[in-house]
Amino acid sequence: MSAILIIEQILNGLQFGVMLFLMAAGLTLIFGVMGLINLAHGSFYMVGAFAAAAVAGVTGSFLLALIAALIVAALAGAMVEMVVIRRLYASDHLDQVLATFALILIFSEGTRWIFGSFPLYLNTPATLSGPVTLPGGIQYPLYRLALIAVGLAVWGGLWWLIERTRIGIQIRAGENDREMIAALGIDISRLYTLIFALGAALAGLAGALVGTIQSVQVGMGEPVLILAFVCIVIGGIGSIKGAFIGAILVGLTSTLGGIFLPELFKVFTDPATAQAAGASLASMSIYILMSLVLIWRPTGLFGARA
């Protein structure tokens, strides 16, 4: 196994990780500030991908498609927050789970109603297609490199938003003490709608960006949502830093496990068995990682101690 392959796979893992971060960031913000567990977050991922695919289909412009994904997902998020979610902040987690599960049903089946059951495809923009040569002579797809850059930029942007802006102060205040921010005269319901829309927009962006690598179809959001849950369980709920570290860990474990575990098993057993056993174990690797973190630190790497 060559060094080039290993570096390629590490980059793939990073790319997967930062896309998971786009999902996990919104989830963890929404949980940290509003105390809401949102199963419907995967729906915004799907909505973003479909919006992008539809706009790209009409205009042919990838940039317009991305903008559409952001806007439509943010609007969907704001609307959902105002109609349903804000009635759930005071409810227990069970109600939140049910209501957001209901939203998944509505979004998924509604999208199937509008777009049909066949997957749509988004093309990589011409300017970003093809490989680039990295130092050391590694050929790597430019588009995937761009995804890593976008993910890192979002991380930086969120850090700036939370640490350096007025809204960030309100968000941090809200995480500590909900009554205090009301006492400060901040319009709390507008703040919540804003945070929810922001989270939805990030999920929609992720959906559109990943939609060019995979196909755009109903049900694409939930597997990613569950992985994002794993990321924030590992990182600690409510922590952006934790979400990022968790996402990178999950991205790398998932990608590298799929490649290296079968290889590792070939040392011990025949290739066919190794391939099968390695693939099975690789599919479980991130959950094993999560279990280990849970044994070691039940509230995650960066979560508040219980």
Partner 1 sequence: MIAERWLNLAVLAGLLGVAVWARIADQPFTITLTTRAVILALAAVGLNIALGLGGLVSLGHAVFFGLGGYAMGILAFHVQTYTPLEIGPISIAGSTSMPVIWLTAIALSSLAALGIGLLSLRTSGAYFIMITLAFGQMFYYFAISWNRYGGEDGLSIYVRNGFPGLNTLIPFQFFGICFALLCLVLLIGDRLARSPFGLALNAARQVPVRVETVGLSPFRLKLVAFVISGAVTGLAGALFADLNRFVSPTMFSWQLSGELIVLVILGGVGRLIGPVVGAVLFVALEHLLGGLTDHWHVFLGLILLVIVLFARGGIVGLLSRRRLGDG
Name the residues that contact partner 1, by CB under 8 A: 31, 37, 39, 84, 87, 91, 93-95, 97-99, 101-106, 108-110, 112-113, 222-223, 226, 229-230, 232-233, 237, 276, 279-280, 283-284, 287, 290-291, 294-295, 298-300, 306
Q: Which is nearer to partner 1, 111 or 212 (CB)?
A: 111
Q: Which is nearer to partner 1, 6 or 105 (CB)?
A: 105
DSSP string, 10-72: HHHHHHHHHHHHHHHHHHHHHHHHH----TTHHHHHHHHHHHHHHHHHHH--HHHHHHHHHHH
Q: Which is nearer to partner 1, 105 or 149 (CB)?
A: 105
Q: How far is the CB of 290 from partner 1 (least distance, A)?
A: 6
Helices (H) and strands (E) in the chain, counts: 11, 2
The span from the CA of 261 to the CA of 277, in Å, is 8
Q: How far is the CB of 221 from partner 1 (least distance, A)?
A: 11
The span from the CA of 29 to the CA of 76, in Å, is 17
The span from the CA of 306 to the CA of 298, in Å, is 9
Q: How far is the CB of 117 from partner 1 (least distance, A)?
A: 9
Q: Which is nearer to partner 1, 124 or 241 (CB)?
A: 241
Q: Which two three-digit tokens encode residue 303? A: 């979560």
Q: How far is the CB of 255 from partner 1 (least distance, A)?
A: 15
Q: Which is nearer to partner 1, 76 or 208 (CB)?
A: 76
The span from the CA of 162 to the CA of 29, in Å, is 10
Q: Which is nearer to partner 1, 95 or 263 (CB)?
A: 95
Q: How far is the CB of 112 from partner 1 (least distance, A)?
A: 7
Instruction: State residue 239 phi and psi, 5-degree precision.
Output: -105, 120
The span from the CA of 82 to the CA of 79, in Å, is 5
The span from the CA of 286 to the CA of 252, in Å, is 9
Q: How far is the CB of 185 from partner 1 (least distance, A)?
A: 29
Tell me the residue ranges of DSSP E strands in the chain: 131-134, 138-141
Q: Which is nearer to partner 1, 63 or 226 (CB)?
A: 226
Cα first-last separation, the chain = 44
Instruction: State residue 7 phi and psi, 5-degree precision.
Output: -65, -40
Q: Which is nearer to partner 1, 6 or 304 (CB)?
A: 304
Q: How far is the CB of 108 from partner 1 (least distance, A)?
A: 7
Dihedral class, residue 304 (left if φ above 0, else alpha if ψ from -120 to 50, else beta): beta
Q: How far is the CB of 180 from partner 1 (least distance, A)?
A: 22
